[in-house]
């Protein structure tokens, strides 16, 4: 697979190459939904071998946020209501419209397409209330919208490129809305067996008119939200899940965006970095270079932040910090946290200066640009989860991981790396927490998360999990820990929903909370590595007194199996005190 062969000939922008499917059998997805749709769609209607043509437009959003948005309390009987509705639909087949009103691959039957940027469906007249769907923009991933009733639509998500699954992230827009009208959306091919949507999470919604008139940015919106296993069979033993919700629109003829989380695209990152490197007040604190090219020919950025003036040989005495984000494209919350970190580090504060003077930060803000661009949830262009490739990454198939690992190894030869962290989003738990590794030192890898908890309103030490899980042995966290011996090797996980603790309990997270976590992370680093180790000492004593550690981590799937973990933590714990031999022992 030569990268030049895979470049999309329809390259739409300056710094953007849309990944090109090698296997156009995306139809497998629609075939999987066969039992549901076969009788409705003659097969010749759903054949398509052409990849979709992305639009050149890049939606831009204002960043205005409401700090406190309640987590939703679901109706008690919402589940039964959903099943009743499914049964009702099954009984009333002849009343359902089954009208395809959007498909990102197939040619629209409604109009002769003169220009690729025309929508799939154009309303016939002002009385035509059919919603106009669009998703052929960066990070968009709606494959098909099917109108079932006047105001109800079934939605099918695209699979991750060159895979037959991974659907969970969604991002699309609707227009031709009517003021005060309630619309029902059923995303019918999600794959995870459970979701925070059943625990109060609402979809992210952005109304262009609300932004323009009232200066309201992304908000949480939607009612009658439910996530449940539907009746469509994926394959023997595997099922699809439906996310259903209703949305009442505020304006006539509005364009409204809907997403699983606040989008943060590759273009957003490029623009952000362009602004920094062209700002004379900031650009002397940061170096931006290309780590490598992705399979689709996009640049993966590597940032170095430190104090650059002074003698080069001084640099080798500085300690290293390595940070990654967005290996999983469907987790833009990781990008927002990383933006918070970068803003802090290149900012004007004394604390930031101390960090730059004492550390060299190597940051890869987007490890999977191809996946982000094409709206994948989990994988890169080659159709694999790049956070399961760290043991032996392929230069051709996983170039960003191959080069990131080489960069970290080389960095470790030149400088002592004290901490590494990979940022993610979590779809089943609330709060922000970390996965850490665990070895003979037991408590040392818990100091940083514990310090962070003292600083952050949304970080939860109790939700942290420490272990070397078999299923995760090829993640950045475990490979960096094992191969480079970096004890403080972490994965940061931010809930897609919100907090269950502290002053933000029962509220959703938004872009601001996530960026604030980035600031808090930097402040925790200051305490962690301060020559005055008094805070670390206090934490260490607390951990020794309170930390319910066992002799060895027995449960290899600790974070996979919450029930087991909770049971285990309820077992009586034999407290053990270990002796601190010298100050050196507690220094990270």
Residues forming contacts to Zn ion in the complex (CB under 5 A) are 328, 331, 424
Q: How far is the CB of 194 from Zn ion (least distance, A)?
A: 16
User: Six-digit token pair at 586?
Assistant: 């507690």
Q: Catalytic residue at 493? A: yes
Q: Which is nearer to Zn ion, 367 or 522 (CB)?
A: 367
User: Six-digit token pair at 539?
Assistant: 């934490």
The whole-angstrom separation of Cα 551 and Cα 533 is 27
Q: Which is nearer to Zn ion, 166 or 516 (CB)?
A: 166
What backbone torsions phi and psi does residue 134 show, to the nearest 5 degrees? -150, 140
Q: Which is nearer to Zn ion, 303 or 379 (CB)?
A: 379
The whole-angstrom separation of Cα 520 and Cα 104 is 41
Q: How far is the CB of 309 from Zn ion (least distance, A)?
A: 37
User: Six-digit token pair at 319?
Assistant: 């300690």
Helix or strand or coil: residue 449?
helix
Question: Is residue 257 within a helix (H) or strand (E), and if so which, with residue range?
Answer: strand 256-259
Q: Which is nearer to Zn ion, 328 or 450 (CB)?
A: 328
Under a CB-based contact definition with an 8 Å cutoff, are residues 490 and 452 in contact?
Answer: no
Q: Which is nearer to Zn ion, 168 or 516 (CB)?
A: 168
Paired sense of beta strands 238-248 and 182-190, if any: antiparallel
DSSP string covering 185-234, please?
EEEEEE--S--GGGGT---EEEEHHHHHHH---SEE--EEEEEEEEEEEE
Q: How far is the CB of 435 from Zn ion (least distance, A)?
A: 10
Q: Which is nearer to Zn ion, 168 or 515 (CB)?
A: 168
Q: How far is the CB of 355 from Zn ion (least distance, A)?
A: 26
**Chain-centre distance of CA 315, in angstroms?**
33
Q: Which is nearer to Zn ion, 222 or 329 (CB)?
A: 329
Q: How far is the CB of 331 from Zn ion (least distance, A)?
A: 5
The whole-angstrom separation of Cα 101 and Cα 144 is 8
Paired sense of beta strands 417-426 and 99-103, if any: unpaired
* Plot region of 176 (φ>0 → left; ψ -120 to 50 → alpha; else → beta): left
Under a CB-based contact definition with an 8 Å cutoff, are residues 557 and 471 in contact?
Answer: yes
Q: Which is nearer to Zn ion, 168 or 207 (CB)?
A: 168
Q: How far is the CB of 497 from Zn ion (least distance, A)?
A: 15
Q: Which is nearer to Zn ion, 247 or 458 (CB)?
A: 458
Quote the radius of gyration of the chain (alpha carbons, Å): 25
The whole-angstrom separation of Cα 183 and Cα 134 is 16
Q: How far is the CB of 158 from Zn ion (least distance, A)?
A: 19
Q: Which is nearer to Zn ion, 131 or 259 (CB)?
A: 259
Helix or strand or coil: residue 440?
coil
Q: How far is the CB of 496 from Zn ion (least distance, A)?
A: 11
DSSP string covering 357-410, please?
HHEEEEEES-S-HHHHHHT-SS--TTSS-GGG-SSS--TTTSHHHHHHHHHHHH
What backbone torsions phi and psi does residue 345 show, to the nearest 5 degrees? -65, -30
Q: How far is the CB of 327 from Zn ion (least distance, A)?
A: 7
The whole-angstrom separation of Cα 379 and Cα 305 is 28
Calculate the dihedral angle through the C-alpha atoms of 523, 218, 247, 45, rounding to the nearest 10 degrees. Answer: -100
What letters, b where the CB count within 10 A reaches 16 and e where it falls short, cover 547-581? Answer: bebeeebebeebbeeeeebeebeeeeeeeeeeeee
State the DSSP code for 499: B
Name the catalytic one among 493, 512, 542, 562. Answer: 493
Burial class (CB in 10 A: 0-12, 13-18, 19+), 499: buried
Q: How far is the CB of 329 from Zn ion (least distance, A)?
A: 9
Q: What are the C-alpha distances in Å from 70 to residues 77, 163, 311, 498?
A: 20, 36, 52, 9
Q: How far is the CB of 427 from Zn ion (least distance, A)?
A: 9
**Chain-centre distance of CA 131, in angstroms?**
28
Q: Which is nearer to Zn ion, 328 or 403 (CB)?
A: 328
Tell me which residues are annotated as active site.
Answer: 493
């Amino acid at each position: 697979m030569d990268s030049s062969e895979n470049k999309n000939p329809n390259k739409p922008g300056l710094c953007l190459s849309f990944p090109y499917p090698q296997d156009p059998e995306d139809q497998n997805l629609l075939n999987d939904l066969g039992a549901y749709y076969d009788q409705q769609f003659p097969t010749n209607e759903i054949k398509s071998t052409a990849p979709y043509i992305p639009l050149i437009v890049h939606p831009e959003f204002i960043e205005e946020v409401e700090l406190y948005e309640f987590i939703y309390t679901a109706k008690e009987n919402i589940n039964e209501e959903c099943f009743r509705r499914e049964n009702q639909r099954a009984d009333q087949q002849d009343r359902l419209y089954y009208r395809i009103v959007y498909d990102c691959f197939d040619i629209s039957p409604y109009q002769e397409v003169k220009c690729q940027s025309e929508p799939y469906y154009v309303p016939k007249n002002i009385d035509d209330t059919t919603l106009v769907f669009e998703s052929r923009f960066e990070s968009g991933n709606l494959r098909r919208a099917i109108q079932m009733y006047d105001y109800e639509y079934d939605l099918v998500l695209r699979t991750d490129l060159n895979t037959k699954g991974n659907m969970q992230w969604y991002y699309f827009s609707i227009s031709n809305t009517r003021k005060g009208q309630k619309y029902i959306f059923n995303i019918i091919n999600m794959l995870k067996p459970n979701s925070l949507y059943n625990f109060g999470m609402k979809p992210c919604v952005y109304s262009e008119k609300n932004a323009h008139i009232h200066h309201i940015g992304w908000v949480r919106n939607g009612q009658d939200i439910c996530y449940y296993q539907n009746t469509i069979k994926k394959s023997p033993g595997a099922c699809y899940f439906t996310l259903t919700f209703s949305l009442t629109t505020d304006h006539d003829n509005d364009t409204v965006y809907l997403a699983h989380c606040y989008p943060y695209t590759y273009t957003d990152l490029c623009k952000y970095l362009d602004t920094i490197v062209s700002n004379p007040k900031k650009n002397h604190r940061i170096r931006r270079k290309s780590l490598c090219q992705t399979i689709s020919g996009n640049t993966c950025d590597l940032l170095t932040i430190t104090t650059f003036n002074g003698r080069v040989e001084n640099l080798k005495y500085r300690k290293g910090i390595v940070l990654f984000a967005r290996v999983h494209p469907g987790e833009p919350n990781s990008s927002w946290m990383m933006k918070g970190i970068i803003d802090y580090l290149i900012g004007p504060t004394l604390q930031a200066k101390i960090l730059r003077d004492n550390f060299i930060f190597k940051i890869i803000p987007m490890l999977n640009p191809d996946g982000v661009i094409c709206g994948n949830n989990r994988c890169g262009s080659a159709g694999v989860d790049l956070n399961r490739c760290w043991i032996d990454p392929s230069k051709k198939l996983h170039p960003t991981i191959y080069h990131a690992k080489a960069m970290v190894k080389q960095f470790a030869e030149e400088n002592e790396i004290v901490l590494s962290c990979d940022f993610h989003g979590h779809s089943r738990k609330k709060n922000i927490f970390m996965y850490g590794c665990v070895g003979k030192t037991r408590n040392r890898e818990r100091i940083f998360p514990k310090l962070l908890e003292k600083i952050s309103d949304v970080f939860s030490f109790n939700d942290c999990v420490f272990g070397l899980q078999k299923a995760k042995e090829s993640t950045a966290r475990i490979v960096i820990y094992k191969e480079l011996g970096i004890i403080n090797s972490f994965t940061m996980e931010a809930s897609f929903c919100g907090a269950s603790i502290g002053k933000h309990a029962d509220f959703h997270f938004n872009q601001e909370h996530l960026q604030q976590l980035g600031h808090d992370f930097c402040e925790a680093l200051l305490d962690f590595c301060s020559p005055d180790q008094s805070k670390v000492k206090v934490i260490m004593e607390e951990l020794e007194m309170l930390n319910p550690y066992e002799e060895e981590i027995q449960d290899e799937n600790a974070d996979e199996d919450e029930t087991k973990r909770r049971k285990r933590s309820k077992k009586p714990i034999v407290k053990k005190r270990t002796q601190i031999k010298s100050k050196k022992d507690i220094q990270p």
